[in-house]
Chains A and B, each alone.
Chain A
């Protein structure tokens, strides 16, 4: 089956630093979704990408749909304490009308005061 690997697995950064993380797949995806999950909560959709090469921003967050369609990147600029959480990429488990999502392994972001 499809697998989504996220890198890095965890990050420890200082407030104000920029953050970069990526998500790679063994197969082609036509949609990439980025979610953030805070402790004890459900994931919240941050950005959705639908076209290879697409670059989309949501405030301080910017995500890109890789040109090979096998990867996606998420950047956070000028991190703040509320950015703490786990970031998951996700994509449709199949590209033939099946709505199921495959989730990545997650990147845990910790901000050092």
Chain B
């Protein structure tokens, strides 16, 4: 149980275009999902907390207009990187909290974004 999927696993896009990444909890409902960014050989950096049916809460320094988050249902959250630039190239990982009050988060396999 507690399986989270992400799509796509890899994406290459041109500078200036937008890219959408989907995160789905496959066998549980998640009122809260999280989006992280990870640089090579570094720890996970939380970008935003996504709550179903409400606006996402962004961490300090993360541009809301650049990283659009939508949590339309209890099993789906999307991250759209708008007007992507090479510096947005990174490994983006989502996680989902099943809401059991245990703080356990289950992670997707990640999306490798390369902006050329």
A-to-B contact residues, CB < 8 Å: 31, 33, 35, 40-45, 48, 50, 88, 91-92, 99-101, 103-106, 108
Q: Is the CB of A100 within 8 A of B46?
A: yes
Q: Does B32 contact A (CB under 8 A)?
A: yes
Kindly identify which residue among B6, B34, B46, B104 contacts A48, using a CB–CB cutoff of 8 Å.
B104
Q: Within B73-116, which residues are at the interface with A (CB < 8 Å)?
A: 91, 93, 95, 97, 102-110, 112
Contact indicator B106/A45 (Cβ below 8 Å):
yes
B contact residues around A33 at 8 Å (CB): 103-105
- How far apart are A6's CB and chain B's nearest CB, in angstroms? 9
Q: How many A-B Cβ pairs are below 8 Å?
A: 56
Task: Evaluate whether A88 and B103 lie within 8 angstroms (CB atoms) in the complex, with A40-B110, A99-B97, A100-B49 already known.
Answer: no
Establish whether residues B103 and A92, one from each chain, have CB atoms under 8 Å apart when the complex forms: yes
How far is it, in angstroms, between the C-alpha of A99 and the C-alpha of B95 when the chains are bound? 11
Nearest-Cβ distance from residue B54 to partner chain A, whole angstroms: 14
Inter-chain contacts of A50 with B (CB < 8 A): 102
Q: Is B44 an interface residue (CB 8 A)?
A: yes
CB distance from A39 to the nearest CB of B (A): 10
What is the CB-to-nearest-CB distance from B60 to chain A, in angstroms, rounded to a whole number?
A: 10
**Sample of 10 further A-B pairs with CB below 8 A, known A100-B49, A101-B46:** A40-B110, A42-B4, A42-B95, A42-B107, A42-B109, A43-B107, A45-B104, A45-B106, A101-B105, A104-B43
A45-B96 Cα distance, complex, nearest whole Å: 12
In the complex, the answer to whether A99 meets B106 with C-beta atoms within 8 Å is no
Tell me which residues from 51 to 78 in chain B have a Cβ below 8 Å from any Cβ of chain A: none
Find chain B residues with CB under 8 A from A42 CB. 4, 6, 93, 95, 107-110
| Assembled-state Cα–Cα distance A106/B42 (Å) | 8
